[in-house]
Structure 1
Amino acid sequence: MKKLSFIFISLALSFLVTAQTPIDEQQLQQEAARIHRAVLTVDTHCDTPMRLSRGDWDIGVYHDPKDHRSGKIDLPRMQQGGLDAEFFAVFIGQRELTAEGYQRARELTEEIFTAIHGMCDQYHDMIELATMPEDAYWLKKAGKLACFIGIENGYPIGEDLSYIEKYYNMGARYITLCHTRNNQICDSSTDPDGPVHHGLSDFGKQVVREMNRLGMIVDVSHISDEAFYDVLTKSEAPVIASHSNSRAICDNPRNLSDDMIIKLAENGGVLQMCLFSGYVLPSTANPEREAAFADLWAKYGDWSAIKSDSIRAIVREEYYQIQEKFPEKKATVKDLVDHIDHVVNLVGVEYVGIGTDFDGGGGLADCNDVSEMGNITLELVRRGYSEDDIRKIWGGNFMRVFQRVIKISKKFGN
C-alpha cells in the first residue's frame, strides 16, 4: 500500500496547478490524473537496458531528469509518471553478416537479457518479468511494474531459426526485424546503401512464420517500405510498429505512410507513437550541434564497434557535453498528439498506442522522461478523447494485438 500511495501522490503532484489556474482547467487536470491512474499504461519501447548492462548505473534509485547523464527511465520515475508496463529492448547494433559477427551479437544479447533479469531479481518488490498480456493487469493491481522484453534487431538470430525460440524462452515477446542497416532478415528504412533484398529475404520470410508459430509479435519499426508490405503478406498474425509515427505529418522514412497505416489497420495491428523529436517534427537545422556530433563519430567510429568500457565512458561524456552545449529544440506533446489525431482520423482509435524510445533518443520538450508521461493523457483529455479511447491508446490496443498473436499461434499446435 505504501508503494501505491507513493504512485498516487506523485501523479497528483505531476498535475499540480496554481491558485490562478481557472477552475475548468483544474477540473480537466484532475480528470486527466484520474484517468491516467485508472488505465493500464504500456510503453512498447525503451533502450534503458543499454544503461543496465553497463553495471555503473542503478535503475532502482531516482535520478534527476535535468541531468543528461540520468537517462529517461528508472523505477521510481516509472512510478512517478504512472507507467505500468515497459518493454525493455535488447538492442544489438548491426555488424557484419558473418559467423563471427553473429556469435558476438549473441554474446551481447545474452548479457543484456541477464541484466534485465537481474533488475527484476534485485527489485522484485517493485517490478516483475511479464510474458503474457494478463501479467500487466495483475501486476498493476498488486502495485508492481511490469517488465516485458523485446529485441531490437533480429541480427543475433543469425541464420539459425532456433535462436528465435531460445530468445522467446528467455522472455522476449517481440522482435524488431532490423535496425538502421540491412541485415539477413530484411532491408532497413535508413540504410544509406539502399536495399539488398527489396523486402524480406527468403530467410526473413521463415523468421516471420516462426514468430507466428511461437506467438511472438513481429515489429515493423525500422524496416523498409518493401519489407513492411512483405511482412503483411507473410504474417498470419497482426503486427506492431513499436516506435514510429505518421509520415504525412513528419516526412521521415522511419515513419509510416498513410497507405502503410491503412494496411496495418487492415492487418489488425497497431502503430505505437514514438517520442523521438525528429520523428514527430522535422528537425530544425542546428549546424553547430550536427558538426559536433559528426566530429565525435569521426573520432571514435560507430558506437557498436567500441569494445573498451573506458573508451565508451569517454564517448558518453563527450556526447553529453555536446547535448548541453548545443541543446536541441524538441517537439512537444501537442505535436505528438497531432500524430495520434491523424491516425485516429485515418483508421480509428483502435490502431494507435505509445512507444517512447526513451534512452534511445526519445524525449519531448514537455515529456522528456518517464516521470512526465501523464502529460500525454492530459493533452488527450484536452482534445476530447474519452476514458475508453485513452484506455485503448495507452495499452488496450497493444494488448489486443498481443492476445491475438498468442491465439493465432495455437493453430500451429503450441
Structure 2
Amino acid sequence: MKTLIRSTLISCFALSASVAMSQEADKALLKKAKKIHEKAFTVDTHADTPMLLSRGGFDITKDNDARTTNSKVDYPRMKRGGLDAIFFAVYLGQGPRTTEAHEAAKKRALDIFEAVNTTLKNTSSEAELATTPEEAYRIGKTGKRVIFIGVENGYAMGHDLKMLQKFYDLGARYMTLCHSSNNDICDSSTDPKGAEYQGLSPLGEQVVKEMNRLGMIIDVSHVSDSTFYDAIRLSKVPIVATHSGARAICNHPRNLTDDMLKALAKNGGVIQLNLLSDYIKTIPPSPEREAAMKGLYEKYNIKDRRGMATLSEEQQKQARAEFMELNKKYPVQLATVKDAIDHIDHIVKLIGIDHVGMGADFDGGGALADCFDVSQYENMTIELVRRGYSKKDIEKIWSGNFFRVMKAVEKGKTQEVSLK
C-alpha cells in the first residue's frame, strides 16, 4: 500500500511539474509574440470599412462593439490589436453594364473616395493617408494609424482608362480587376454564367498596361483562373491577391491553386490571406441560415450582403437590422486562427516566406472565431510564433512582402516613363 501511495504521489508531482513547465513555456511564448507584434509594422491590405463611412452615422474614432455594430475596424481597435496600417477598399458591387450604369458607378466610386478623404480630414490627429511604404513608416512613427486606399472592382472605371489616373491621384494604389461577377475587364471566379472572355477582355489588357504605367498594383483576388494567368503574362511588374487563400487547403474558386501560387511567386507577387471563414475552411452547411439569407436577399432584390450598400438609406437601416436578427437566430460557424495559419503554412512550404501576407476582408465578411475584428490581430502573431516562424518571417508576413511589391511596381513605373 505504501508503495502504491508513493508511486501515486510521484506521478502527481510529475504531472504538476509538467503542467507548471507547460504554463511557463506558454508565458514565454506569449511574451515573445507580444514583443514581435509590437515591433513589427503591421499592414492589412483589404477592408471594406468605406461602406460604413459612406453611409454615415459610423464613428471610426469610437471603440465600436463588433457584434452589435457589425463593424470590424476603427482606430481604437486598430491600436488595441497592434495594427499600424490598413487599405480601405473603394468597393462597388457589380451592376448593369450599360453606359448609364457605368457613369453612375464612376460617380459612386468618387463619392466613396470623398467619404474616406472627409473622414481622414476630420480625424487628422488620429490617422493619415499614405501612398508609399516610406510615408507609412513616417506616419507610423507619430502614433497615428496609416490608411491606404485600393479600388475593388474595375467596374468603377467603366470603359474610361483616364479614371485609373483619377483613382491614382486620389490615393488608390491598387485595383481589384473584378468582383463576384464578370465585368467588361475580365472574367470573375464566381460568376454563375461562366466565362465570357476566357480571361482578360481587350479592355482588360489595356487596363493592365495602364496600371503598370501608372504604378498601380494589379489585384487578382476575385478573378477567374484564366484571368489570373493573363494578368501574370501581361504585367511587367509583380501582381497581388489582396484577400485570397490557398485552394489546396480550402477548395473555393476564390482561392489560388498550387500552380497559381507558383506562378505568383515566379512573378514576384504576394498573396494576402483573407479571413472570411468560407475561404479558410469548408464550413458545414446550415440549411436554415441559407434559406433565411436567401429570403432576405430576395426581399431587397440584392445578390449578397454587400448589395445592401445599393439600397436607400431607410432600406439599408431596415435590412441591416434584419440581418443582425438573422445572425442571432442562425449564428454562422467560424473558422479559427489555427485554420487560417494552415493556409500560411501551406503557402510558405510551397513557394517560400517571401510571397504571403495579410488581407482579412474585415467589414466585407472577414471574421474568425478568435480573430473577429482588428482588435484580436495579435492572435495571428501568437500562432505564427507557436509554429516556429521567426521575427524576420513574421515581419515579412505583416508588411515586408507587400511593401516589396509596392516598391517594385513604383520602380517599374519610373523605368517605363524613362524609356519614353
Could you list the structure 1 runs, at least 4 aligned residues long, displaced by more than 4 angstroms after superposition. Answer: none
Other-structure match for 1:235: 235
Answer yes or no: is 1:321 the counterpart of 2:342. Answer: no
Q: In structure 2, what is the equivalent of residue 292 of structure 1?
A: 292
Matched, 1:411 2:415: yes
Scaled by the length of structure 2, the TM-score of the pair is 0.92
In structure 2, runs of 5+ residues without a counterpart are 1-19
1:348 maps to 2:348 = no
SS of the aligned residue for 2:180 comes to: coil
Structure 1 gaps of 5+ residues are: 1-18
The alignment status of 1:371 with 2:375, answered yes or no, reads yes
Match of 1:7 in 2: none
Q: Is the 8 A contact 1:238 1:401 kept in 2?
A: yes
Alpha-carbon RMSD across the aligned residues, in angstroms, is 1.3
Is 1:210 the equivalent of 2:210? yes
Q: What corresponds to 1:12 in structure 2?
A: none
For 2:10, the equivalent position in structure 1 comes to: none
The answer for the alignment partner of 2:48 in structure 1 is 47
1:211, CA displacement in angstroms? Answer: 0.4
Counterparts in 2 of 1:306 and 1:120: CA distance versus 1, 3 Å = closer
- 1:309 paired residue number: 313
Per-residue CA deviations over 1:190-215 (Å, capped at 9, x if unaligned) read 00000111100011000000000000
Query: In the alignment, residue 89 of structure 1 is paired with which amino acid?
Result: A
Task: Give the corresponding residue for 2:158.
Answer: 158
CA, structure 1 residues 334+273, in 2 after alignment: closer, same or farther (shift >3 Å)? same
- Please give the alpha-carbon distance, in whole angstroms, between the structure 2 residues aligned to 1:238 and 1:65: 35
- Contact 1:41 / 1:85 at 8 angstroms: preserved in 2? yes
Q: Which moved more, 1:76-85 or 1:116-125?
A: 116-125
The amino acid that maps onto 1:163 is M
Alignment of 1:79-158 (within 5 A): 79-158=79-158
Q: Distance in 2 between matches of 1:347 and 1:307?
A: 43
Q: What corresponds to 1:72 in structure 2?
A: 72
Counterpart amino acid of 2:280?
Answer: V
3-state DSSP class of the match of 1:53? helix
Is structure 2 residue 30 aligned with structure 1 residue 29? Answer: yes
Match for 2:215: what amino acid?
Answer: G
The 1-side partners of 2:355 and 2:175 are apart by: 19
Please state whether the residue corresponding to 2:244 is helix, strand or coil.
Answer: coil
Are 2:342 and 1:338 equivalent residues in the alignment?
yes
Deviation of 1:379 after TM superposition, in Å, equals 0.2
How far apart, CA to CA, are the structure 2 residues paired with 1:385 and 1:293? 40
Q: Alignment partner of 1:44: what SS? A: strand
Shift in Å, 1:132 = 1.0
Q: CA deviation at 1:278?
A: 0.2
Alpha-carbon distance between aligned partners in 2 of 1:169 and 1:305, rounded to the nearest angstrom? 25
Q: CA deviation at 1:157?
A: 1.0
Q: Between Structure 1 and Structure 2, whose CA radius of gyration is higher?
A: 2
Q: Would you say the 8 A contact 1:249–1:339 is kept in 2?
A: yes
Give 1:82 shift. Answer: 0.5
The answer on whether the counterparts of 1:175 and 1:219 sit within 8 Å (CA) in structure 2 is yes
Task: Output the CA distance in 2 between the equivalents of 1:358 and 1:304.
Answer: 16
Could you tell me how far apart the structure 1 residues matched to 2:171 and 2:245 are? 27
1:387 and 2:398 correspond: no
Matched-pair contact (CA < 8 Å) for 1:93–1:179: yes
- 1:198 maps to a residue whose letter is Q
Deviations 1:270-290 (A, max 9, x none): 000000000000121111110
How far, CA to CA, are the matches of 1:304 and 1:122 in structure 2? 26
Q: CA deviation at 1:70?
A: 4.0
Shift of 1:306: 4.1
Q: 1:190-247 CA distances to partner (integer Å, 9 max, x unpaired)?
A: 0000011110001100000000000000000000000000000000010000000000
Question: Which letter does structure 1 place at the counterpart of 2:259?
Answer: D
Q: Is the Cα–Cα contact under 8 Å of residues 47 and 360 in structure 2 kept in the other structure?
A: yes
Per-residue deviation at 1:66? 3.5
CA distance in 1, matches of 2:351, 2:311: 45
C-alpha separation in 1, matches of 2:284 and 2:137: 40
Q: Report the CA distance between 1:98 and its aligned residue.
A: 1.1
Question: Deviation of residue 412 (structure 1)?
Answer: 2.1
Q: Is the Cα contact below 8 Å between 1:93 and 1:304 reproduced in 2?
A: no
C-alpha separation in 2, matches of 1:121 and 1:241: 29
- Between the aligned partners of 1:102 and 1:306, the Cα distance in structure 2 is 14
Contact 2:308 2:319 in 1 (8 A): no
Q: Percent identity?
A: 51
Q: Match for residue 63 of structure 2?
A: 62
Alignment partners' CA distance in 2, 1:57 and 1:33: 30
Contact 2:308 2:316 survives alignment (8 Å): no
2:39 corresponds to which letter in structure 1? A
Contact 1:281 1:335 in 2 (8 A): yes
One-letter amino acid of the counterpart of residue 62, structure 2: V
CA distance in 2, matches of 1:315, 1:198: 36
Q: Aligned in 2, Cα 1:305/1:369: closer, same or farther, shift over 3 Å?
A: closer
| Preserved CA contact (<8 Å) 1:244 1:279 | yes
